[in-house]
Amino acid sequence: MPPQDETHDEVLPSMDDPPAGERWLAPALREQRLYELCRDGGDEAHLAYLRIVAAEGLYRPVALGQAVGSDGAAPLHVTTLPDGRRLVQVYTVGVLPRPHPDVVYEFITLRGLISLWPRDVRVLLVNGATPCARAFLAGEDERETWLGLHDELFEPDGTCDRIETRRTGMPHDEGLLRGLACGAHLCYGNGDAWNTLDWHGAGYSSEVERLAGSWGIDGHDSWLDTTELLLAAELSPWVWDYVLGARLWLAQETGERRVDPVVWRDCVEQSIRSQLQDEVSGEELDDLAASLRGLAGKIMRYESRFRADGLLPPDGYVRTVAAWDLGRATMVARWGRGARYAGEQELHAAVERAGKAVQAAYGSWPEFSAGYILGRCLHFDEETFGDWYTTVLDAHRALLAAPDSPWNTVPLH
């Protein structure tokens, strides 16, 4: 079990209205649009608000005890008002509070709401107790409208591949922001806000499933073990940086930036044979040496493509793929928080350590990104230059171009 978080009162979102005559600065652009629609009023604004939440989805509070093992299907929480009216409260992601020890938030679509909707509840309240709050009647006719909007507008990956930046409620400590910026590739791909520590991600059950299915993480101990391996850049195969390290050594020894490929391969083979000749059988050592020579060739072919695509400068090469582990470390830390495997202070510490490790290993964000992408390609792509490469190339380009990108707002050094 994670260390017990300090109990706090931020169970449901609560945000003050702006002073009279001033406009509210919302946490993110989504909530800003909803706020402006609330100010406009009228039927068209009402429908426009509903269209936004239909496309983006919502989050609903669930007691942790009910959420565990429910696969996101725990009953809706119903609030009864003093006048007897009953309503369901849901929220957009930007207004969610910091994680609470006893309450989690599950992602839900309008169709999902309908499937769980209690028959005696007639009101849906979106973003209650915030300046962008709006109530909707929830009779049968209204729910039919929700269903139509969901089918028209919601796409499972519709919010992916974008830079999402919080404008309020984010940390201001540069070390924490640097660590958060290390997860920019994955935040872009998933459409998550890169600069928040109040992590809810894809919702509690989805974060649990993500860690179990992709990482074999099912609790605090396995989360901590995996996070430590990633922060030490020791989860990926050691041979990747071994081969890259041989090229670095040759460059330093010769004083030449470009190392002859044959000399590099020979150096890799000679060094591995020298180190393991007394520990590994001849045939096994021959296979390993051949594999490492082949890996050097694979890396050169990737780097050639990287230069053509602008990932590397014309004479550039990757010095280390530590970024592949470190970039994922800062995200596994956040996902562990969303799954309640990690305490708040554990998350902060892991994020800060990731930033420091990236700062020590790389001279710039573009260099970090090239190392991350090479690691991802070596892990998944098998020289097909398919989606595993092209999607992260798109992320790289967007993150370098956008003014509000973490790489343009948080200095690496």
User: Going residue by residue through the chain (413 aa), what tens digit of pLDDT does each one get?
Assistant: 556 666 788 999 999 999 999 999 999 999 999 999 999 888 999 999 999 999 999 999 999 999 999 999 999 999 998 888 899 999 999 999 999 999 999 999 999 999 999 989 999 999 999 999 999 999 999 999 999 999 999 999 999 999 999 999 999 999 999 999 999 999 999 999 999 999 999 999 999 999 999 999 999 999 999 999 999 999 999 999 999 999 999 999 988 888 999 999 999 999 999 999 888 788 899 999 999 999 999 999 999 999 999 999 999 999 999 999 999 999 999 999 999 999 999 999 999 999 999 999 999 999 999 999 999 999 999 999 999 999 999 999 999 999 999 999 999 99
The answer to whether residues 64 and 205 touch, using CB atoms and an 8 Å cutoff, is no
Q: Are residues 129 and 202 in the same domain?
A: no
Q: For position 236, what pLDDT does the model report?
A: 97
Please state, in angstroms and as integers, the Cα–Cα distance from residue 373 to each residue in 122, 297, 303, 317, 330, following that order. 50, 17, 10, 12, 16
Residue 66 lies in a domain: yes
C-beta pairs of 155-158 under 8 Å, 24+ apart in sequence:
155/55, 158/55, 158/56
Q: For position 4, what pLDDT does the model report?
A: 61
Q: Is 315 helix (H, G, I), strand (E, B) or coil?
A: coil
Q: Are residues 230 and 245 in the same domain?
A: no
pTM of the model: 0.95
Q: For position 2, what pLDDT does the model report?
A: 58
Q: For position 282, what pLDDT does the model report?
A: 85
Q: Are residues 102 and 145 in the same domain?
A: yes
Domain that holds residue 287: 238-308
Q: Are residues 35 and 145 in the same domain?
A: yes
Whole-number Å distance between alpha carbons of 179 and 360: 12
Q: For position 39, what pLDDT does the model report?
A: 92
Q: Are residues 224 and 249 in the same domain?
A: no
Residue 337 lies in a domain: yes
Residue 265 lies in a domain: yes
Q: For position 352, what pLDDT does the model report?
A: 98
Q: Is the dihedral of CA 356, 357, 360, 361 positive or negative?
A: negative
Residue 264 lies in a domain: yes
Q: For position 372, what pLDDT does the model report?
A: 98
Q: For position 218, what pLDDT does the model report?
A: 97
Q: Are residues 351 and 303 in the same domain?
A: no
Q: For position 84, what pLDDT does the model report?
A: 87
Residue 3 lies in a domain: no
Q: Are residues 224 and 339 in the same domain?
A: yes
Q: What are phi and psi of 157, to 5 degrees?
A: -105, 20
Q: For position 3, what pLDDT does the model report?
A: 60
Q: Are residues 251 and 213 in the same domain?
A: no
**Among 308, 333, 363, where does a domain finish?**
308
Whole-number Å distance between alpha carbons of 132 and 38: 6
Residue 22 lies in a domain: no
Q: Are residues 300 and 385 in the same domain?
A: no
Q: Are residues 255 and 402 in the same domain?
A: no
Residue 164 lies in a domain: no
Q: Are residues 202 and 302 in the same domain?
A: no
Q: Are residues 213 and 357 in the same domain?
A: yes
Contacts for 22 with CB less than 8 Å, ≥ 6 apart:
none
User: Which runs of consecutive H residues, i.e. helices, occur in 99-153?
Assistant: 110-116, 140-153
Report DSSP state, residue 161: S
Residue 343 lies in a domain: yes
Query: Of how many residues is the chain composed?
Result: 413
